[in-house]
Chains A and B, each alone.
Chain A
Amino acid sequence: MSKDKKRVSSDSEDLLKNIGDRLQKQRAKDREDDEQAGKEEEVKEKEAAEEKAKETEKEAKEAPADETADDEDIPSWDDNREPYLTSYTINPEMEDIYDDIRRTFRMELNLTLSKQQAIALGWKLLNNLDPKFFEEVRATCSPEDNLIEALKDIIDEFY
C-alpha cells in the first residue's frame, strides 16, 4: 500500500463535515438553552430579592410610620402597599394581563417614577379606583396632570 494512498474518500470527508456541523449546531443550541435558563434563574432571584427588600422596607416603615403618622402632611402611597400586594393573590385573573399592564405603566411612567414604583402604583390603581389615590400620586410623585389622565386611560383600558 502506498503511503500517499487516500484512505478516507472526499464523500466520506463531506459527510464527516456535515455531521460535525450538525453536532456543533446542537452544542450551540445547548449553550443558548443553558444561558436562557441561567437568565431566567437570575430574573427569578432578582424578583425574589426585590420582594424581600420590599418586605424588609415595609416592616422597617411600619413601626416609625405609626409613631410619626400625625406629623405627615403629605400622604405617601409607598406607605400603603398592602392592597396591591394582596391583590396579586386574591385576583388571579389579573395575572393574565399583568405583563401588559406592567409594560404600559413602565412606558407611561418611566420619566417620573422608578420601574418598581410604576409597577406598585399600577397595582394599587387597578385595585383602588378611588380618586384620592390619584391625588395622592399627584402630591407625592408627579406634578404632571397629564400623567394622571394617562393613568386613568390605562386603567379604563385594562380594568
Chain B
Amino acid sequence: MAEIISIVNQKGGVGKTTTSHNLSYALAEEGKQTLLIDLDPQMNLSTTLGIDCYAQKNSIYNVLKDKELPLGSVIRETDHDNLSIIPSAFELSGAEIEFTKRISSASLLSRSISNSMSDDYDFILIDCPPSLGILTINALSASDYLIIPMQPEVYALYGIDMLLSTIEEIQEEINSNLKIMGVLITMHDGRLSLHKEMTEKIHGYFKNNVFDTLIKTNTTLKEAQSNNQSIFEYDGRARGAKNYQSLAREVIEHVEG
C-alpha cells in the first residue's frame, strides 16, 4: 500500500517543487516505486520532467472533474526507473472556482486514488500549489503524511501557523489519518547568522517534528532545474544530491518505522 505524502506550504518559493522532484527521484533510486502528482497549476514539475502539459488529451483536471475517468489513465512514465508522474494541467488554475461549487469537492482526489493503484506504488508524492485552496485541501484529504518545506526565516513562520490551522481542520473534518511527517528546512545558507540562529531555534522548539536533513542553498540545484533535470541527473556528487538522498532515507525510515 502506497504512503501518500503531500509537499505543502502555501508560501511560494520555499522549495516545494524542487523537493517533490528530487525526493521522488531519490526514493526511486532507493528502489521504491514512486508516483509524483503535480497539483500545481504552474506546471513547473511536469515541465521539468519534459511533459508538454498543453498536449494532453486527458489530465488530472479531467480526472477530478469526471469521476468515471480513472486516475491511472493519466499516469505517464518518466525516463527514470521506478518513477512515474501525473502531470499538471493549465485548467487546474480554474479549479478553485469550478470545484468548490461541488459537494464533497474536498475528496475528489482521494476518491480517484483507487486501492489497486495504491498497491502499485510504495510512495505517492503530491506537489501542492502555493495556496490553501481546494487543490491543496484535496491533497491533504488524500494524504497519509505531510512534509512542510520552509526557509529558516521569520516570514515563513506566519505561513506555518496558518497551515497548521488548516491541517487541524482537515484532520477534524475529512482525514483523521493525516500526519505531519516533519518540517524540512530548505535554502539554508550557513554563511548567514540569521539562518543559523533560526535553524537552532526551529530545532529547539519543533523538536522531533523537524527533519535532521537540511537542504542547503546550492547553485547546482538551480542549474539542474534550468536543465530540466533532477540534481541526481545533473550532478550526483553535488551537496544537493546528498541532502535529498539523506532526506529520502529519513522518509523511508519514518514510514517503515
B158 lies within 8 A of chain A by Cβ: yes
Q: Which residues of B contact A20 (CB under 8 A)?
A: 204-207, 209
- Which residues of A are found within 8 Å of B204, using beta-carbon distances? 20
* Contact of A16 with B209 in the complex, beta carbons under 8 Å: no
A132 at interface, CB cutoff 8 A: no
A12/B154 in contact, CB under 8 A: yes
Q: Is the CB of A15 within 8 A of B209?
A: no
Contact of A24 among B201, B202, B209 (CB under 8 A): B209
Complex contacts, A13 vs chain B, CB 8 Å: 201
CA distance A30 to B201 in the complex (A): 24
Report chain B residues within 8 Å CB of A19: 157, 160-161, 164, 205-206
In whole angstroms, how far apart are the Cα atoms of A23 and B181 in the complex?
Answer: 10
Q: Are A7 and B206 in contact (CB under 8 A)?
A: no
Does B201 contact A16, Cβ atoms closer than 8 Å?
A: yes
Q: How many residues of chain A get a CB closer than 8 Å to chain B's CBs? A: 18
B residues less than 8 Å from A15 (CB atoms): 157-158, 161
Instruction: State whether A7 and B161 are in contact (beta carbons under 8 Å apart), knowing that A13-B201, A16-B205, A23-B209 are contacts in the complex.
Output: no
Looking at the complex, which one of B154, B176, B180, B193 makes contact with A26 (CB distance below 8 Å)? Answer: B180
A15 to B154 Cα, complex, angstroms: 9
The complex places the Cα of A16 from the Cα of B207 at a distance, in Å, of: 11
Instruction: Kindly state whether residue A103 has any CB partner on chain B within 8 Å.
Output: no
What 0/1 pattern do residues 1 to 30 of A give for CB contact below 8 A with B? 000000111001101111110111011001
* Distance in angstroms between the alpha carbons of A26 and B208 in the assembled complex: 11
Q: How long is the Cα–Cα vector from A26 to B179 in the complex, in angstroms?
A: 8
Complex CA distance for A13 and B204, rounded to whole angstroms: 11
Please classify the interface of chain B as helix (H, G, I), strand (E, B), loop, or mixed, using the class held by over half of its residues: helix
A12→B180 CA distance, assembly (Å): 22
Please provide the chain A residues from 12 to 54 with a CB less than 8 Å away from any CB of chain B in the complex.
12-13, 15-20, 22-24, 26-27, 30, 33
**Cβ 8 A contact of B164, one of A7, A22, A30:** A22
Known A15-B161, A19-B161, A19-B164; judge A26-B201 contact (CB<8 A).
no
Shortest beta-carbon distance from B148 to chain A in Å: 9
The one of B158, B198, B201, B206 that contacts A23, using a Cβ cutoff of 8 Å: B206
Interface residues of B in 128-186 (CB under 8 A from A): 154, 157-158, 160-161, 164, 167-168, 176, 179-180, 183
Residues of A within 8 Å of B206, CB to CB, are 16, 19-20, 23
CA distance A114 to B130 in the complex (A): 61
* A16 neighbours in B (Cβ, 8 Å): 157, 201-202, 205-206
Question: How many angstroms from the CA of A148 to the CA of B91 in the assembled complex?
Answer: 73
Which of B160, B167, B202 lies at the interface centre, i.e. has the most chain A CB atoms within 10 A of its CB?
B160
How many angstroms between the C-alpha atoms of A24 and B164 in the bound complex? 12
- B1 CB to closest chain A CB (Å) equals 15
Q: How far is the CB of B185 from chain A (nearest CB, A)?
A: 13
Chain B contacts to A: CB under 8 angstroms: 154, 157-158, 160-161, 164, 167-168, 176, 179-180, 183, 193-194, 197-198, 201-202, 204-209
The 9 listed contacts between A and B (C-beta, < 8 Å) are A7-B193, A8-B194, A15-B158, A15-B161, A16-B157, A19-B164, A19-B206, A26-B167, A27-B209
Additional A-B contacts beyond A12-B157, A23-B207 (19; CB < 8 A): A7-B194, A7-B198, A8-B197, A8-B198, A9-B154, A15-B157, A15-B161, A16-B157, A16-B202, A17-B205, A18-B161, A19-B164, A19-B206, A23-B180, A23-B209, A24-B207, A24-B209, A26-B167, A27-B208
